[in-house]
Amino acid sequence: MFRYILRYYIDPGFAEDKRIAELLELCKKGRIEEVMFFYNPEELFQGYPDDAEVESWFALAKKVKAALDGAGILMSINPWTTTVHVSRGRKFTEKQRMFQPMVGETGTVSPITACPFDPHWQEWLASFFARIAKEISPTAIWVEDDWRLHNHEPSMKYGGCFCPLHLARFEQETGIRTDREQLLKNILAPGEPHPWRKPWLKVCRDSLLEPARRLYEKVHAANPQVRLGLMSSGPDVHSVEGRDWNLLKEALSPDAPLPVRPHLPPYTEVYALDVSPAVSRQTVSEYDCPIEIYPELENSPRCGKYSKSGTFSVFECYHSALFGSSGITINHYDMMGNGFSLDYDFPEYLAGAKSVLDALTALKLSDRDSEGVQVLYSPGIAEHVRTSSGGSMAALVNSSVGWSGVFYKLGVSHGLTKEISGAGIRAVSNQTLRAYPDEEIRRLLSGKLILDAPSAEILLERGFGSMAGIKSAEWRTLDGDGYAYEEIVGGKESLYGVDTPRMSASRCSAEVLAMQTDAKVLSKICRYDRSVLYPGAVFHENELGGQVLTIAYPLDRLQFNVGYFNNYRRIFLHEIIRNLFQEKNILLGCDVPLQAYRNRQQSQTILALLNPTHDPCRRLRFFAPGLNPAQAESLDRDGVWRKTELKVQADGSLVCERELPPLDMFVLKFRT
């Protein structure tokens, strides 16, 4: 069963009986199994409410719980803050004056966000959670995604915490007494990471681990049946606070799988082709232990169809199920107590997708079994990132999984991994390679590897350039060289529809890596006058037996997505994967933009193609080597698997003569 968990708020005294009746109706219509009931949320956030406010909420929560119990619907509790996301005019009350405020990297003292090291705050929060566990007995209490040091007050820039408690703990760790300014200067110093950075990241990690243990102890003592769940932001950002996901899991749920709610962008609907659940999948892959996955289906600022449609919401549910989620948390309705009047028919979209989602969940998919290119990242990358000018802790955020977004747009099945070893192709970007010692870099280079430009630059710095066929390289700018387009070497009309197809280079990035190479040149970057400047992509087979593809573009530059993606780019990458890397365990979606998943189980392989465009895909064509088309079964709308005819084409691709509507999904199952 794919569990729908509806995040919902009823305001005490604001037509609460009517809202409770509506909630029961909504759950029935939407086939919703659980309600995550808010405390003190968003627009009506009271900061630290007075006793009367707290008591009125407890009375209402018990009333809602009784009604949901009677309908066979579970209830969890979501206190909207722990440390407090952001003040928006709220301040500590007189009772909370004893709390140590969080101090930002700018020296700004938060008017309401507490430092997680503060023992008074820890006791207050743990006692409040324990009271919820004892008096309401929900199935779980969720720890909000403000369980973090970054992203609090805008005036704090990156965030905290540089308060006296944190500085004292740093002194305890290192024996060094310092202040905020000197600490930041050293840990953000350009070049090789300063020796202070590693112990500082440990201090940050401990500041969120210690209160997590306190929470568990208090809640477990109050009611052992109540679990804690964890909401989170992006792993690359959490790396800057030294997060160890497995230690945090042990703190919050030492004896059972931890319910986790990974971030699932976007909050407001955008063109689906630009949407990638890479952050969610990266979060899931951080854990080495069993977890229950319920991604964040957000609709912000919760204006019904004005901010996100039912169709788009279901599309995100499809993605979530395909990377192994147990269900989804749904934040679709406002937090002011208006009920579901802003979007009456949203439950129909949920109900309409439920049978298909339940059937996918019954497969017990795990993203660790995803086949295709494996995008490599390092959980502790912030310890190794090199800054160019310091300035802010945000400089330590590495865009680790940029290749995932590329592969989603170009129809390439893939997974995310923190493991160097393993079969198949690894893809790496930005500064990720800095996290690995030379022996592990050598191991990577002995296999199949895809590099972006910054990764190639790091290989050159480390003396491994020849292993990628690169003798030297330098960054060149658009304004300086006037590069205009990238031309595919040997591109044939029979494959591309035109001889030597051209793709925009000037609209991809404001700088490229000009490589001097003895590798095989697959494409050339040309000037506006049609003269050749330097390679756009090169492929090299090295002395270790490895195969390396390098592109001239940096994936982390903002302009990259504007011009990089087109039919030629998709065909170009597919040809490299199929014919140069000769990758077999892959799914490649052809002809139009399709998002691809391939998952290998013990006795079967699952394929999925999603249409992220606003146009129907008239027929489905794809490459899926190693599978017998005669064994194909497709998943229909009613959740039933049925035999499906696939036609084998002369080039080895498979065709299903079925139309795939916009924002819809096609799933196949093969016995293996």
Residue 666: what pLDDT? 99
* 620-660 pLDDT tens trace: 999 999 999 999 999 999 999 999 999 999 999 999 999 99
649-655: long-range pairs with CB below 8 Å, 24+: 649/621, 652/623, 652/625, 653/590, 653/621, 653/622, 653/623, 654/621, 654/622, 654/623, 654/624, 654/629, 655/619, 655/620, 655/621
- Examine the pLDDT at 390 and tell me if it is beyond 80: no
Round to whole Å and give the CA distance between 597 and 601. 13
Length of the chain as a residue count = 672
Phi/psi of residue 640, nearest 5 degrees: -105, 140
Bridge partner residues of 52 (DSSP): none
Mean pLDDT score of the chain: 97
Please give the class, per CATH, of domain 1-80+262-366. alpha beta
Domain with CATH 3.40.50 in the chain: 373-580
Residue 651: what pLDDT? 97
- Examine the pLDDT at 228 and tell me if it is beyond 80: yes
Beta strands 665-671; 633-635: pairing state: antiparallel
- Examine the pLDDT at 561 and tell me if it is beyond 70: no
Please choose, from the candidates 10, 2, 155, the residue with its C-alpha nearest in 3D space to the C-alpha of residue 68.
Answer: 10
Residue 303: what pLDDT? 86
* 417-443 pLDDT tens trace: 999 988 899 999 999 999 999 999 999
Domain with CATH 2.60.40.1180 in the chain: 588-671
CATH level 2 (architecture), domain 588-671: Sandwich (2.60)
Mean pLDDT over residues 194-214, rounded?
99
Residue 96: what pLDDT? 85
Residue 560: what pLDDT? 60
Burial class (CB in 10 A: 0-12, 13-18, 19+), 255: exposed
Round to whole Å and give the CA distance between 283 and 290. 13
Give percent of the chain above pLDDT 90: 96
* 87-129 pLDDT tens trace: 999 999 888 889 999 999 999 999 999 999 999 999 999 999 9
Per-residue tokens: 603 = 């006795």
* 658-668 pLDDT tens trace: 999 999 999 99
35-49, 55-69, 87-101, 526-540: least confident range: 87-101
Radius of gyration of the chain (CA): 26
* Domain 373-580, CATH: 3.40.50
- Examine the pLDDT at 587 and tell me if it is beyond 80: yes
Please choose, from the candidates 402, 415, 590, the residue with its C-alpha nearest in 3D space to the C-alpha of residue 495.
Answer: 590
Residue 558: what pLDDT? 60
Q: Are 339 and 18 in contact (CB under 8 A)?
A: yes
DSSP label of 383: G
Between vectors from CA 74 to CA 135 and to CA 640, what angle results, nearest 5°? 170
Domain with CATH 3.20.20 in the chain: 1-80+262-366
Mean pLDDT over residues 145-153, rounded?
96
Task: Give the three-state DSSP class for 437.
Answer: coil
